[in-house]
Amino acid sequence: MTTRDIISWNTVIAGNAQNGLHEDALAMVREMGGAGLKPDIFTLSAILPIFAQYVCARVEDSIRVFKITRQRDTISWNSVIAGCVQNGMFDEGLRLFRQMLKDNVIPGSVSFSSIMPACAHLTTLNLGKQLHGYIMRCGFDDNVFISSSLVDMYAKCGHIRTAGWIFGGIKGRDMVSWTAMIMGCALHGYAEDAISLFEQMKLEGIRPNHVAITAILTACSHAGMIDEGRRYFDRMTEEYGIRPGLEHYAAMADLYSRKGKLNDAYQLISTMTTPTGTIWSLLLSACRVHKNVDLAEKVASKIFEVDPENIGARVLLSNIYANDGRWKEAAKVRMTMRNMGIRKNPACSWIEVKNKIHTFIADDKSHPLHDEINIALCELQEKMELAGYVADTSEVLHDVDDEQKKYLLYGHSERRAIAFGIMSTPAGTTIRVIKNIRICVDCHTAIKLISKIVGREIVVRDNSRFHHFRDGECSCGEYW
């Protein structure tokens, strides 16, 4: 063609994209720019899904293309937002969603389905609730895709009862909605409910996929249900035609490890073709809990073979040595980390109060209410001791005296977040805290007492599961 207008360019670009010729499609966009033509909304509709689905590492390019486009419709906004969220750029996805609203672009059902996972990942409950209200006003609350996203968001933000209520109202539940609810129950420790839902799903004619199997294995893992977990794992291939993947092996290894069956976990992982450092790390973490130093050294060597710069594994190994009183070996591991330029990420917790996220690090003095938080912690400590609390310093892995160990425990990030939440919210308000690592034994005991003393439910999500503390008890049943 001697004369090529925007329509002819878009036709060929879309044809390439739809037939999987993604590089050709993107190359033609560049050629079109060289010919003096700018992409329009139809160009973006063709190429942005490529970035969202196939070229994850180049989502920044997608955003740049989006920004130079003069006319942006709902499709282009949805594509770039989905691309950000699917690639872990949750804050950017939320920023773009807000900008879409400011530009008076009316969000559709796909818009909400795209952005809700960002709220679930960032555990921004208040924002999630605002979006839920918007969804109801727009009349999308009967959309199965959006409802499934709401189930997932509320479950991951600690509102499992609300998630259940929404799930109960979904008509024509599909695999996504069932899986979201099953996984929600699993993360909150309600294994029996998860199994009941899984079996009900099958009775309604929905065949489990690999994600549903992961969810039910996770439920079994968090409740220590070895026999049930083995049964579901063994039936994957013969009954559902699903070959076990990394996530299924990880769930089973976690199940064995939590129950103290470390050798079974080792044998299972060893049967994998190429076990990753991540799955070996599950077993290494269990070696710390069950104080098996010999196996820990064996597992650590496996990890460093496939992932030499695995920070978490080196920190775990150092802690295992320290817990066994082998301070020289622990120091040697730390020295190796320093020589490699590896730094441990600090333990931190965060809480959302009045639409603002407050982050706490152990003994951090940067919070504007630092002194008031310390006073609140001291008052709680006195009441806890009157109730019979005795600090458990077994997991304080520093070569210091017992009094110093107790002081270190009192400054743990989740306690500071909880104290701030108590002093910043009305009596009776549920406190919801997120922590980036496993909650320690002493803090678990302390929070049980705090929940009884202040008469509040305290929900803590660590890197493994949710803990619902109420009236001096925890939903995990001391199994986490």
pLDDT at 477 over 90: no
Q: State residue 178's pLDDT score.
A: 96
CA pair distance 339, 342, nearest whole angstrom: 8
Q: Residue 62: what pLDDT?
A: 80
Q: Is 174 helix (H, G, I), strand (E, B) or coil?
A: coil
Distance from C-alpha of 37 to C-alpha of 160, rounded to nearest angstrom: 51
Residue with tokens 């994957």: 236
What average pLDDT does this structure show over 85-96? 90
pLDDT at 322: 87
Compare 233 and 138 and report the one with higher pLDDT.
Answer: 233
CA angle (230, 236, 240) in 5-degree steps:
145
Chain center to CA of 59 = 21
User: Tell me: the pLDDT tens digits for 407-463?
Assistant: 777 888 999 999 999 999 999 999 999 999 889 888 999 999 999 999 999 999 998
Indicate if the pLDDT at residue 400 is higher than 70.
Answer: no
pLDDT value, residue 153: 93
Average pLDDT of the residues in 219-231: 93
Three-state DSSP at 349 gives strand
Average pLDDT over residues 281-294: 93
The token duo for 397 is 């892995």
pLDDT for res 401: 66
Q: Point out the least confidently predicted range of 42-46, 223-227, 252-256.
A: 42-46
Q: Is 344 a residue whose pLDDT tops 80?
A: no
CA distance 148 to 93: 19
pLDDT tens, residue by residue, 19-52:
888 889 989 999 998 888 888 888 888 887 776 6
Read off the tokens for 327: 């301070």
Q: How far is CA 76 from the centre of its chain?
A: 27
Average pLDDT estimate for 338-348: 82
- Name 469's Cβ contacts closer than 8 Å, sequence gap at least 6: 447, 448, 450, 451, 457, 458, 459, 460, 475
Is residue 377 scored above 60 in pLDDT? yes
Query: Of 213, 144, 225, nearest to 189 (Cα)?
Result: 225
Token pair of 357, please? Answer: 């996220």
Please state the rounded mean pLDDT for residues 200-227.
94
Percent of the chain with pLDDT over 90: 55
Instruction: Give 237-291 as a 3 state SS string.
Output: HHHHCCCCCHHHHHHHHHHHHHCCCHHHHHHHHHCCCCCCHHHHHHHHHHHHHCC
Confidence of residue 296 (pLDDT cuts 50, 70, 90): very high
Average of pLDDT values for 229-244?
91
Q: Judge whether residue 64 has pLDDT over 90.
A: no
pLDDT at residue 55 is higher than 60: no
Contact 118, 154 (CB under 8 A): no
Q: Collapse the DSSP code of 236 into the 3-class scheme (helix H, G, I; strand E, B; otherwise coil) and give the result.
A: helix
pLDDT score at 480: 72
CB-based contacts of 361, cutoff 8 Å, min separation 6: 346, 347, 348, 413
Whether the per-residue pLDDT at 57 is higher than 60: the answer is: no
Would you place residue 397 in the very low, low, confident or very high pLDDT band (cuts 50, 70, 90)? Answer: low
Q: Residue 235: pLDDT above 60?
A: yes
pLDDT on residue 13: 93
* Number of other residues whose CB lies within 10 A of the CB of residue 2: 3
Half-sphere CA count of 198, side-chain side, radius 13 A: 27
Q: Does pLDDT of 301 surpass 90?
A: yes
Name the nearest CA neighbour of 269 among 288, 249, 294.
Answer: 249
Cβ–Cβ contacts within 10 Å for residue 238, how many?
A: 8
User: With bands split at pLDDT 50, 70 and 90, how would you rate the model's confidence at 53?
Assistant: low
Angle between helices 59-67 and 41-53 (to 10 degrees): 170
- The arithmetic mean of pLDDT across residues 460-469, rounded, is 91
Q: Could you give the percent of the chain with pLDDT greater than 70?
A: 96
The predicted pLDDT at position 250 comes to 94
pLDDT at 54 over 70: no
Q: Is the pLDDT of residue 340 over 80?
A: yes
pLDDT at residue 399, rounded to an integer: 59
Over range 330-334, report the average pLDDT.
90
